[in-house]
Structure 1
């Protein structure tokens, strides 16, 4: 009987343990509720930064779509640059105050435990520069230099400017002589400027006006004068009230210094002593080929962006931005070489007399009407070589009024132009001249145009003077020139970048498959060792050489800090 009782007890124990195991297994198999994701902020890096800089916010449960997050810094909404689930990069907004950072994402709002501090950047000291300094100078990036009136770097002295330095040109009201002359920097013969900026720290010449108040012609601009030949009489005055005359020199290898990674903004004013004879953003008189010029941007010039008056200087990687008159002007016997230049225009701003992309001539209006200019100072005529230029005016149908031609060639110029693009001008190419001038240069081959693309023009080719429209058109379309006129119906085939005409943030790299990426003319003058051999037409292939050092919104840039 006792044995039966023990067996019964053991059976009850087994059943009890089985029930517990089944219950536990059932509990394990049942799905568990998923915890609700929690939005949180774990760190801010850096925790102190000035307005306009970027900071990184790390945490949890952020939306990977930047627009689906809302961030406030001291109560002011910030712009989100990039977003992942655990990291947001934002710009410290104008008006932000010291205080916590908050993030709203996924229907939740989190606030940082620590406060963010808006740093107040220090304002650089300002050093005024005036007159002529008979000493070598070195301008440093920790100081802003204010040019008042005409400032000259005379013969046998050198101005060295460190990367990242800002130089401001004062308006006429600050002329120390009381003559109402705007600030202008002039490098005289045998003087030198060594302005070697970098892509990360370009050297900037700009207006002395405050943010939002700057305009074309606020100051005079930058002028270099060398000892290479100019085909003008020795008594010819310089433009813009610059002292001295051209004189007679033929030192083709002259060296006026170096301009690399330099921006020149809001220059080209007229001066009271020369009201109709403006300087350009960068004006070059008789500058020799031992001078180095590359990576230079001229913005908002009230005259031409770049002006070559005689000389032999070469240049690469140039940017002309939102100028008033011509972008590339050559005159007075310039025979240098230029490659890779891009111009972007504001179609609402131009010269009522007719702004051009490239303008090249050899003598002044009303002069030498019966024939080419007589040989002077060792140079018979203007004969530069340009290659890989891109000019963009109207993105839509161009209108007549402020603009004339993408290429305007007259008065006995013997320019050669290769592998270049001109888009959105009323006229594409305008050839003007006499039988013994421009026409003779076309016939002899001294003037040479090959690999040219004209697009979005009202009249692709125009001739005036003794050059008829038919003669100009036949020349442009001649066998072996590989020139191209793109009809309005085919403009999309050029496959421009979507941001090509975006004034404040352009991107000029053509899309893959663009016909601009092939078809470049080779040989002849462009075979010169100065020129980089490329297969594309226009200023860009796949290398975005304007990246990082240019500025397409100088109106809003704070140059004081």
Structure 2
């Protein structure tokens, strides 16, 4: 019996506990506990769902990162740039190379893919407006239209051509000259006329070939010519060179203003013109252009003649890029006295002109004169070409330079700096790399002793012959002048080129990078004072065209052959 009583007591205890437990349970009316769901990254819509490369679109959804760079957006297989971000909306740029396909977003550790396909739109062809002859009216060219130059197109005195940023102007070949005289298309701004071509880094103004992608070549069209009223040291009856109408006149207005060229590309110019003897325009020809004119950030590519040419005048220029020129990169004549700073030339070592290609070719006399002793006739107060160039870089051969004919041209390379016919140029803090001859001094030796020729802070590297003298200047005279200690010039032998620490991509034609390496001796070793005190010059300590600012980035193009300019 005691055992039975114990069992009954235990059962009664368990029954009591059950009653307590049931009593402690929540009422059916009590609210359920709140469980917060894990945030999910989703894409709900794309606005618009069709857009061209370079445009912006909005991606709407959930759980995006509010820091733009913390979201990874892939459009048609290519990562896109995020312009702005909230947790529900991303604004992105359709990237170059993107194809139609899905869009995905990776944010906050999750990846979502849109349920619909995004379509990369093909922009419509821009309308083409043909331009020829002389228009006696102010003109305004817009980026939504392509302008085709047929024959010599003149902007005459007292009229202005204004070109919107992003506008494309194409030059036709001589076969499309409407006058039947076989002049290649060219834009010529005459004396007292003006061009206002203000491109931007993101929307440069482009002058290029009228030919299709893959068919463009050196000298497809003429080029761009500006003519001003600044002094020229030629007789006023001298014809304007290279087939352009008119004579040089005898104006003497060094502050003259021919307008503005900023963020401008000129490609495939330098066509042969039907003159006797046969001549070619340069990419950009400046004849008597005054210092009131603004020119900076200009690239000349694949010119069939010279890259940049100055015929007298006093215009100042900065940030110039001569890319794969056929003849000379910087050509100076007829008493030019302006200033130029920050210019880089990159050559194709397989291409040179039959006349011999140079970096600088600077002369002073009329081509019909043969003497190097008698000074030219004083005209407009000028007797010599006396410009000042600073921070220039000329790159030809990365390998051993050759003086033989090149693979794609009928000529050969000559000098990085070729000074002839009593010119009086000053070149400071500049680099010449990869020429058969570094500096050639031709003519009278008086320029060396009088100081009218002033070469300081110049580096010659990878040159077969550093200094050469011709005419009445001996090589010994030229070498003694260049290597004088007070000039701070430098000759870098082929065995020591690595010491310059230039950029590894410096000579890469398809993607050049000219910024020297951080410890390069070109940085911080430039000369100063003298003519560099002029307020035009930016005071920098380096030699060559580049310090740490890659000023060719964004607005230049080293592959114009494959650029679609029709849309």
Could you say which residue in structure 2 is the equivalent of 1:385? Answer: 388
1:445 to 448, 451, 470: 451
Structure-to-structure mapping, 1:393-412, within 5 angstroms: 393-401=396-404, 402-412=412-422
Change (3 A) 1:10 1:531: farther
Q: Does residue 489 of structure 1 match 2:492?
A: no
Could you say which residue in structure 2 is the equivalent of 1:139? Answer: 141
Could you tell me how far apart the structure 1 residues matched to 2:202 and 2:54 are? 17
Change (3 A) 1:51 1:245: same
Whether the 8 Å contact between 2:75 and 2:94 is mirrored in structure 1 is: no
Could you tell me how far apart the structure 2 residues matched to 1:556 and 1:526 are? 40
Whether the 8 Å contact between 1:147 and 1:170 is mirrored in structure 2 is: yes
The CA deviation string for residues 188-244 of structure 1, in whole angstroms up to 9 with x for no partner, is 111111111111211111111111111111111000111111111222222221101
Could you say which residue in structure 2 is the equivalent of 1:415? Answer: 425
TM-score (norm 2): 0.84
The CA deviation string for residues 345-394 of structure 1, in whole angstroms up to 9 with x for no partner, is 11111113321111111014451415232222321111100000011111
Change (3 A) 1:559 1:470: same
Whether the 8 Å contact between 1:420 and 1:453 is mirrored in structure 2 is: yes
The CA deviation string for residues 498-549 of structure 1, in whole angstroms up to 9 with x for no partner, is 2222212222111111111111111111111111111001011111111211
Could you tell me how far apart the structure 2 residues matched to 1:376 and 1:115 are? 71
Could you say which residue in structure 1 is the equivalent of 2:239? Answer: 237
Could you say which residue in structure 2 is the equivalent of 1:480? Answer: 486
The CA deviation string for residues 457-498 of structure 1, in whole angstroms up to 9 with x for no partner, is 111111112222222111111021110111212211211222
Could you tell me how far apart the structure 2 residues matched to 1:90 and 1:176 are? 41
Change (3 A) 1:352 1:217: same
Is the partner of 1:515 in helix, strand or coil? coil
1:428 to 428, 438, 455: 438
Whether the 8 Å contact between 1:450 and 1:483 is mirrored in structure 2 is: yes
Could you tell me how far apart the structure 2 residues matched to 1:10 and 1:130 are? 115
Whether the 8 Å contact between 1:146 and 1:170 is mirrored in structure 2 is: yes
Could you say which residue in structure 1 is the equivalent of 2:516? Answer: 510
Is the partner of 1:173 in helix, strand or coil? helix
Whether the 8 Å contact between 2:500 and 2:520 is mirrored in structure 1 is: yes
TM-score (norm 1): 0.85
Could you tell me how far apart the structure 2 residues matched to 1:445 and 1:385 are? 13
Whether the 8 Å contact between 1:266 and 1:300 is mirrored in structure 2 is: yes
1:536 to 542, 551, 563: 542
Shift in Å at residue 276 of structure 1? 2.2
Whether the 8 Å contact between 2:54 and 2:94 is mirrored in structure 1 is: no
Is the partner of 2:201 in helix, strand or coil? coil
Change (3 A) 1:332 1:282: same
Is the partner of 2:497 in helix, strand or coil? helix
Could you tell me how far apart the structure 1 residues matched to 2:46 and 2:466 are? 58
Could you tell me how far apart the structure 1 residues matched to 2:94 and 2:54 are? 9
Shift in Å at residue 47 of structure 1? 3.5
Change (3 A) 1:465 1:370: closer
Is the partner of 1:240 in helix, strand or coil? coil
Could you say which residue in structure 1 is the equivalent of 2:282? Answer: 280
Could you tell me how far apart the structure 2 residues matched to 1:231 and 1:513 are? 45
Could you say which residue in structure 1 is the equivalent of 2:20? Answer: none
Structure-to-structure mapping, 1:35-184, within 5 angstroms: 47-50=49-52, 73=76, 78=77, 91=95, 93=97, 96=99, 100=102, 112-184=114-186
Q: Out of 359-368 and 206-215, give the one that drifted further.
A: 359-368
Unaligned 5+ runs, structure 2: 16-39, 64-71, 83-89, 106-110, 405-411
Shift in Å at residue 43 of structure 1? 7.1
Whether the 8 Å contact between 1:352 and 1:403 is mirrored in structure 2 is: no
Whether the 8 Å contact between 1:228 and 1:251 is mirrored in structure 2 is: yes
Whether the 8 Å contact between 1:267 and 1:280 is mirrored in structure 2 is: yes
Could you tell me how far apart the structure 2 residues matched to 1:292 and 1:362 are? 24
Is the partner of 2:481 in helix, strand or coil? helix
Could you say which residue in structure 2 is the equivalent of 1:373? Answer: 376
Whether the 8 Å contact between 1:47 and 1:116 is mirrored in structure 2 is: yes
Whether the 8 Å contact between 1:55 and 1:92 is mirrored in structure 2 is: no
Is the partner of 1:525 in helix, strand or coil? helix
1:299 to 297, 301, 309: 301
Could you tell me how far apart the structure 2 residues matched to 1:366 and 1:296 are? 32
The CA deviation string for residues 133-182 of structure 1, in whole angstroms up to 9 with x for no partner, is 11111111111111111111111111111111111111112111111111
2:6 to 4, 7, 12: 4
Could you say which residue in structure 2 is the equivalent of 1:550? Answer: 556
Could you tell me how far apart the structure 2 residues matched to 1:331 and 1:194 are? 25
RMSD over aligned CA atoms reads 3.2
Shift in Å at residue 79 of structure 1? 5.0
Could you tell me how far apart the structure 1 residues matched to 2:45 and 2:511 are? 32
